[in-house]
Amino acid sequence: MLIKWIRCVVVDRRGFDRAQRKWAGLLGEPGFLSQGGGWSRSRPDVVHLFGFWESRAFYDSFMARSHDRLAAAQAGTYKDLRVRLFEHCLDVKVGFRPEFTDADVVRIAHCRVREEREEHFRTVQEKVWNPAMAGSPGMLRGMLGAAPGPEFLILSMWDSEAEHGKYRAERVERLALRAQMEADVAAVDGDVVGVEASWTV
C-alpha cells in the first residue's frame, strides 16, 4: 500500500475547503483506497492530507491521467505544498484500514533516521512503540510507512484529541528513552490533525 502525505499552507480557507470536497472524484479511480485529512491543531493555516493507494503503479497512472483536472479547482488557495510518498511496512494494532470516518484526530510523526540505525528503529517501532500505542484507550489504528532516506511516517488515528493527549502526557517521554530515540533519529517533526469529515473520500 502506498501512502501520499500532503502538507500545505492555506491562503484562502473557504476556497480550499470548497475545492477539497471535489476530490470525491477520486472514487472509482483504479487502485484508489481512500483519502482524508484536516487542519493542523497547532497551526490553523496548515492542512495535512493522506491518500492511500493499492500500489505505486496505480498511483502513477492516476497522476498521469486525472490528477491535474481534479487539482485545478484548488489553484491559488494554498502555498508551500509538500508531498511525500511512503510504502506501508508495519501496522500499529492489527489490520490497518485507511478509514477516517470514526477518527477525531490523526497524529503524525515524520522521522529522518540515521542510516546505520534503521534496523534498530524498525525493531523498536514493533517492540516498544506499537504495544504502548495499541494499548492506549482511544487509539483506533495506525501504521508505519517507509521511504528512502531513510525516512518514516508514523500515522495513528484516535477517537478523541483528549485520549491522544493523555497518551502523550503519560507515556511518550518514557518510551522515547526506552527506544533510544535520540540515537536513532536525526530529525523528527509531527502534528495533530483534526479530521475534516467532508474531505473524506
Reported as a single tens digit per residue, the pLDDT across 21-58 is 999 999 999 999 999 999 999 999 999 999 999 999 99
The structural domains of the chain, with segments of one domain joined by +, span 2-199
**E strands present in 2-65:** 2-10, 32-40, 46-53
Predicted model pTM: 0.92
User: 116-128 burial string, b = 16+ CB within 10 Å, else e?
Assistant: ebbeebbebbeeb
pLDDT at 164 over 80: no
What per-residue confidence (pLDDT) applies to 177?
72
Q: What is the pLDDT of residues 92-138, one digit of tens each?
A: 877 899 999 999 999 999 999 999 999 999 998 888 878 877 778 88
pLDDT band at 171 (very low <50, low <70, confident <90, very high): low
CATH topology of domain 2-199: Alpha-Beta Plaits (3.30.70)
